[in-house]
Each structure stands twice: as structure tokens, then as C-alpha cells.
Amino acid sequence: MPNILEINNLLHSYGKIRALKGINLTIGEGEIVALIGANGAGKTTTLHCISGLLGHFESGTVTFMGKSLKGMKPHEVSKCGITQVLEGRHIFPHLTIKENLMMGAYLRTDSTAIDSDLQDIYRRFPRLHERERQLGGTLSGGEQQMLAIARALMAKPKLILMDEPSLGLAPLIVKEVFQIIREINKEGMPILLVEQNSKAALSIADRGYVLESGEIVMCEKCEDLLNNERVQRSYLGG
């Protein structure tokens, strides 16, 4: 399976604190790759290095479909085909659901295809269709998460980065969100998933990386990580 994203020897620091210590990571076509670790391990920093939200990274390479992303601004990374669903959802609270969705397509110019994709989104997320004129800020946490994922899909990405999609959600809603992630992936969308709910993430992913204090300490098939005593003890409550 060819890799669409390759990270090699990525280092990044915040002042004197080394957040990433030369990590290596790949994502193949159609894969869900889980990145798990404790708070402060460097998971979100990794995503932000890919998406350009940090503005720069110290050294190393991030290559997407053969193209270096180093030095790119977020909108340039988005044009390359990478969209990030941020931790905390970050929908536009004073815009309607439909306006939020159309913001996802802001960089696109294919109006007919955008309208077709919007209808596809409404079929996948009927609750969003029912409430398309409702302000985003009035939605429940689960509905906002669905809106954030749907907005990302409106960008027509080739890779989605997801940061803590289950954060703050009730267990039944978490199950629904992970089912949506699985369905999106079954249609061919590769996903890099950062998630504190390690068991849920590893249960739907193909491969997983364990990040500890800015270093990748394990990279295995998810079934092997789920059965690993160290992972069970540290991240799965075993």
C-alpha cells in the first residue's frame, strides 16, 4: 500500500521544551492510523505540524503525496488536500449549519460539485439537514462534532486529521461519531486519528503509533497494540 503521508525525523520545540523528538510516521492509502499517548505527549503538535497551524516546525520533513509541506500556511496545506477537525470542534457559533458547511468549501470554485456534495452531507447527516438554518452555537456537543466532520468533508480532502473527536461527548454519541469515522474511511478516506479514548481509536484503526514525551515508542497493527500488556496497562485501563 503506497504511503500518501510521510513524516521523517520531525522535531519541534516550544522554547526550551522539546515537544517532538525526531518522530517518523506514515499513512497509506485508505488507512485509519491512530496516534495515542498521554496528555502532553505531542499528539496535537504532530497534527499542527502537518496542517501548518504552527507556522513552521524545527526540522525534519512532512511529505504529502510526494510534496513537501514544510513552510506552508494552513490554507496552502488545505489546497493540497489535507483538512483538520480541531479538538473542541471550533465550529462558527454565529453562523447557521449551512453557512458552517459552506465555509468548509471556501477554497473550492466548482459550484455544481459543491451543491452535490452538500446534498450528500445532508443524506449522511440528516439532523444537520433538518436544522440547516439553526445557529451552530445552539447545537449539542455531539451535533457540533458531526458538523465539524461534515465541514471537513465539504473541503473534498484527500486526508483528514482528527483531533480528539470524542472529547466531552456522552458514550452513546461517542459510538455514533466513531461509526461515522468508520463509514467515511470505508469510502476510501484516509484518516489520522488522535484520540484519548485509546481503546475506541485502536478498535477502528488499521495501525497505531504510541507517542510518549515526543517520541514514537511503538508502531504496530492495532490488534497487536490492543493485546500488548504495556499498552493495556498505560492506555487501556488494564
**Which residue from 99, 88, 3, 5 is spatially nearest to 51, judged by alpha carbons?**
5
Render pLDDT for 127-154 as a digit per residue (tens, 0 to 9): 999 999 999 999 999 999 999 999 999 9
Cα torsion angle, 15, 160, 72, 110, sign: negative
Domains present along the chain, CATH in parentheses: 3-93+158-235 (3.40.50.300)
pLDDT attached to residue 238 = 61
Which grid cell is 23? 518522530
For residue 56, pLDDT over 90 is answered with: no
What pLDDT is attached to residue 55? Answer: 79
Residues 3 and 27: beta-carbon distance below 8 Å: yes
**Quick check: 166 pLDDT over 70?**
yes
- 174 with 166: CB under 8 angstroms? yes
| pLDDT value, residue 90 | 92
**What is the tens place of the pLDDT at every residue in 91-115?**
999 999 999 999 999 999 999 999 9
Query: Would the pLDDT of 8 be above 90?
Result: yes
Q: Judge whether residue 86 has pLDDT over 70.
A: yes
Output the furthest CA–CA distance in the chain (Å, rounded).
52
Q: Tell me what the mean pLDDT of segment 200-208 comes to.
A: 96
The average pLDDT across 42-53 equals 96
